[in-house]
């Protein structure tokens, strides 16, 4: 049972976590700059390698290598570079190419839309039902807070479609389709957003599905298939990483009433309980954008993510100090609980409880 903290304990929790933040900030410097520049060089090398090999993809091993290289390049750019740069993790470097407010990443979602729906909405209202639209992406029922309806019985199909077309789902997130379905807003209210979405999405689709195949016209079908495959790899990996960070069995949810007049300590408390980590090798951490340490990311979103493995033991010790669950496990075990959660909440409540299905934990 998760400990309920009083205000004095919450203030103490905030002080402990602020001390970690201040310590890392005081230590930022050339080591961090070298790291992100090394990752950028790696990304560029992988992308160039993938693009150069792709026209020779009529040789099966070369096709596999090209797809892997380009897919890894897209994953690294989205996860370890784009996502982290847009959180302001490298603003202190004063490098115009790494500024959070001007960086544009290699995916359908515009950076402006991402900063609004992710940096502000999600990180401010993490797992607050009714405020955090990332919780289920308005497609999946993951807790008792949403009333079951027959459409939820098919939500595993929605999950598969979301993972396959993840960059497009993220790109359309700001559309607020659930509010359009409830006729609270109309498409005209989203005119400016849709203009930006079609402009950016069109550029991305043109680049991968028209431009590169055309300049390699004799082998255009091979290049097109390779680019589609690389995007699919990126979509499947990034969606799985994000789901493992938010929708595991032990990730808790919160009510809007619980965040009224919220203190800094309670915000920290909510980040700790609403997030999930998974273990892995150094490369698993890099390819996940270090969101394998989602707990540390939610607590310290603006600290360079490659520092998370170093401070994780300190954060875990603080959780134990206050009797809070530090939700971590292997990648496979965490992912199994995500699938379990999606499956269980697709069932009518009476059937789910009869079968011993899970109930969402709300702090």
- pLDDT(190) > 60: yes
The residues that bridge with 279 in the sheet, in sequence order, are: 330
Dump pLDDT digits (tens) for 11-64.
999 999 999 999 999 999 999 999 999 999 999 999 999 999 999 999 999 999
Q: Which helix (H) or strand (E) holds 74?
A: helix 60-76
Phi and psi torsions of 137, nearest 5°: 55, 30
Per-residue pLDDT, 144: 87
The tokens of 105 are what? 């990443």
Residue 7's SS3 state is helix
Mean pLDDT computed over every residue of the chain: 95
Is residue 81 within a helix (H) or strand (E), and if so which, with residue range?
Answer: none
Closest CA to 322 of 256, 244, 267, 269: 269
**Distance (Å, whole) CA 20 – CA 9:** 17
User: Of how many residues is the chain composed?
Assistant: 363
176: left (phi over 0), alpha (psi -120 to 50) or beta: left
pLDDT tens per residue, range 130-186: 999 999 898 899 988 888 999 999 999 999 999 999 999 999 999 999 999 999 999
Q: Which of 90, 86, 77 is nearest to 28 (CA)?
A: 90
Phi/psi at 361 (5° precision): -90, 120
| Residue 147 burial (CB count, 10 A) | 8
Indicate the pTM of the whole model. 0.94
What digits encode the pLDDT tens for the residues 264-275? 999 999 999 999
- Give the count of beta carbons closer than 10 Å to the beta carbon of residue 43: 21
Both structure tokens of 248: 């595991």
* Burial (CB count within 10 angstroms: exposed 0-12, middle 13-18, buried 19+), residue 13: buried
């Amino acid at each position: 049972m998760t400990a309920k903290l009083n205000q004095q304990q919450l203030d103490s929790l905030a002080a402990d976590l602020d001390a970690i933040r201040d310590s890392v900030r005081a230590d930022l410097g050339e080591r961090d700059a070298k790291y992100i520049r090394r990752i950028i060089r790696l990304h560029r090398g992988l992308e160039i390698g993938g693009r150069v090999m792709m026209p020779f993809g009529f040789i099966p091993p070369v096709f596999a290598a090209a797809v892997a290289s380009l897919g890894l390049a897209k994953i690294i750019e989205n996860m370890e570079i784009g996502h982290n740069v847009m959180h302001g993790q490298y603003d202190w470097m004063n490098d115009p190419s790494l500024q959070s407010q001007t960086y544009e990443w290699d995916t359908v979602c515009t950076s402006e839309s991402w900063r609004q729906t992710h940096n502000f909405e999600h990180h401010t209202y993490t797992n607050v039902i009714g405020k955090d639209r990332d919780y289920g992406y308005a497609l999946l029922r993951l807790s008792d807070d949403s009333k079951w309806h027959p459409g939820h019985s098919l939500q595993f199909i929605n999950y598969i479609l979301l993972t396959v077309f993840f960059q497009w789902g993220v790109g359309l997130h700001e559309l607020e389709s659930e509010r359009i379905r409830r006729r609270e807003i109309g498409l005209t209210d989203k005119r400016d957003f849709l203009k930006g979405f079609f402009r950016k999405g069109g550029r991305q689709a043109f680049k991968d599905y028209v431009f590169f195949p055309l300049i390699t016209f004799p082998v255009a079908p091979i290049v097109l298939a390779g680019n589609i495959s690389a995007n699919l790899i990126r979509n499947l990996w990034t969606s799985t990483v994000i789901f493992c960070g938010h929708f595991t069995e032990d990730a808790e949810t919160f009510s809007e009433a619980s965040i009224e007049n919220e203190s800094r300590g309670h915000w920290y408390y909510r980040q700790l309980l609403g997030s999930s980590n998974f273990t892995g090798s150094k490369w698993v951490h890099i390819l996940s954008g270090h969101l394998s340490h989602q707990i540390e990311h939610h607590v310290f979103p603006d600290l360079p993510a490659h520092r998370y493995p170093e401070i994780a033991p300190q954060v875990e010790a603080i959780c134990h100090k206050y009797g809070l669950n530090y939700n971590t496990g292997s990648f496979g075990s965490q992912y199994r609980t995500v699938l379990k959660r999606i499956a269980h909440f697709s069932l009518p409540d009476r059937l789910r409880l009869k079968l011993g299905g899970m109930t969402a934990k709300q702090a």
